[in-house]
A and B are shown apart, each in its own frame.
Chain A
Amino acid sequence: MFGLWYPIECVLAPCAIGTVMYLGFELWDRRRRRTRPDNDLPVIDYSI
């Protein structure tokens, strides 16, 4: 009914957003560790 392109888009778009966000968090995490080496960012189980 909705063709295949829209479902594929619905899967790829959040993957792309998630990847960009992950890279952003990693950058932020590394900058934080330079000033606070003993204070790691907590890891969140986003999947729940």
Chain B
Amino acid sequence: MSLSLIVGGAPVPILGVAALGVAVGYVAGMFGIGGGFLMTPLLVVAFGVPLPIAVGTGLCQMIGTALVSNLRHRKLRQGERRFDALLLPGCLLGVELGARTLSLLTTAGSLSVAGHSLPWVTIIVEGSYVLLLLFVAWNYWRHGQGGKRDVLNELRPGPLSRIRFGPALDLPAIGLRSVSALVIANIGLALGFASGLLGIGGGVALNPVLIYGYGLPIRQAVGTGIVVLFATAVVGTFVHATRGHVHLGVAAVMLVGGAVSAQFGALASRRMSGSTLGRVHALVILLAVAAVLWDLVSELH
């Protein structure tokens, strides 16, 4: 009996998917994140899963992890619900636009590079992953330099909170006043688009915006937007599933394996200092970048 799942017409080993889920989950748990932005490109690189299916399946898996996150963070009462409410409409619209863009890109043909043809969808999506992962790695390397973690535990109103454009409102739960509602709504649109196109939870993009753009302390940043991320994953999954871009079996295997191993990773992280964690995190992400670049180069040959 073959222990494989048929994904996009090709067999993908169940044990391999489970191992990927466990490995990424362990690493992600060690750094206090969900790892969705690692799983999606690694599904493509490690198992040759077609990009649109990797994106949709990654979002499906993210529903489970975002739900657990919501339930666990709910008790902590962190974050600002008004921020969530402003992000949500743009996010939902952005997800649909991102999913449509991905579908269009799969029919956009190829670019000829050095005598070989490379599909546009691969160039744009994997190229976006490389840029995004490099940005995340750079941020974690900076955190690993030490001394910055204490600053990130305080509110330091950032540049985005000082933009005066359109209607403004106060965000009392996070201590910000007269924040532009239109700017937040547009951030939601961009976030949703990234989710629909790349299959990421948006947290990897949202948290730097909240921490560096609005100056929120880390704990408030993590608590803000969690509901939106769950909603984005739900809508993104639904939209991608209507196009046949979600493999429920792969998502379920990754979800179970990843969520369990994340707890052990989180416990293991207690033995490491903050600066070491930051640097190890950056190195792990750079390995993922190398894997994606390797895949891009392999497609050329």
Q: Which residues of A contact B (CB under 8 A)?
A: 1-2, 4, 6-11, 13-15, 17-19, 21-22, 25, 28, 41-48
Interface residues of B in 25-68 (CB under 8 A from A): 28-29, 32-37, 60-68
- Count A/B pairs, Cβ under 8 Å: 137
B183 at the A interface (CB under 8 A): no
B251 at the A interface (CB under 8 A): yes
B182 at the A interface (CB under 8 A): no
Q: Are B67 and A15 in contact (CB under 8 A)?
A: yes
Q: Whole-angstrom distance from the CB of A25 to the nearest CB of chain B?
A: 7
Instruction: With A11-B234, A13-B252, A18-B64 as known contacts, state yes or no: A47 contacts B241, CB within 8 Å.
Output: no
Q: Whole-angstrom distance from the CB of A19 to the nearest CB of chain B?
A: 7
Name, among A4, A13, A19, A28, the residue most crowded by chain B CB atoms within 10 Å (CB to CB).
A13
Chain B residue nearest in CB terms to A2: B244
B243 at the A interface (CB under 8 A): yes
Q: Which residues of B contact A (CB under 8 A)?
A: 28-29, 32-37, 60-73, 76, 201-204, 207, 222, 225-226, 229-230, 233-234, 237-238, 241-244, 246, 248, 251-252, 255-256, 259-260, 262-263, 266-267, 269-270
Name, among A1, A2, A44, the residue most crowded by chain B CB atoms within 10 Å (CB to CB).
A44
CA distance A25 to B105 in the complex (A): 40
| In-complex Cβ contact of B65 among A11, A19, A28, A46 (8 A) | A46
Instruction: With A18-B63, A48-B36 as known contacts, state yes or no: A41 contacts B267, CB within 8 Å.
Output: yes
Name, among A11, A18, A46, the residue most crowded by chain B CB atoms within 10 Å (CB to CB).
A46
CA distance A3 to B262 in the complex (A): 34
Q: Are A45 and B68 in contact (CB under 8 A)?
A: no
The dominant DSSP class at the A interface is helix
| In-complex Cβ contact of A14 among B28, B34, B243, B252 (8 A) | B252
List 29 A–B pairs whose Cβ atoms lie within 8 Å, in order of A's numbering: A1-B244, A2-B241, A7-B241, A9-B248, A10-B238, A10-B241, A13-B252, A17-B252, A18-B65, A18-B68, A18-B259, A19-B71, A21-B64, A21-B255, A21-B256, A21-B260, A25-B263, A42-B269, A42-B270, A44-B263, A44-B266, A45-B33, A46-B66, A46-B68, A47-B66, A47-B70, A47-B203, A47-B229, A48-B33
| In-complex Cβ contact of B242 among A7, A18, A25 (8 A) | A7
Chain B residue nearest in CB terms to A21: B259
Q: Are A46 and B237 in contact (CB under 8 A)?
A: no
Chain B residue nearest in CB terms to A17: B64
CA distance A25 to B222 in the complex (A): 20
Chain B residues near A43 (CB-CB < 8 A): 32, 72-73, 76
CA distance A31 to B220 in the complex (A): 28
Chain B residue nearest in CB terms to A24: B260
Q: Are A41 and B266 in contact (CB under 8 A)?
A: yes
CA distance A12 to B241 in the complex (A): 12
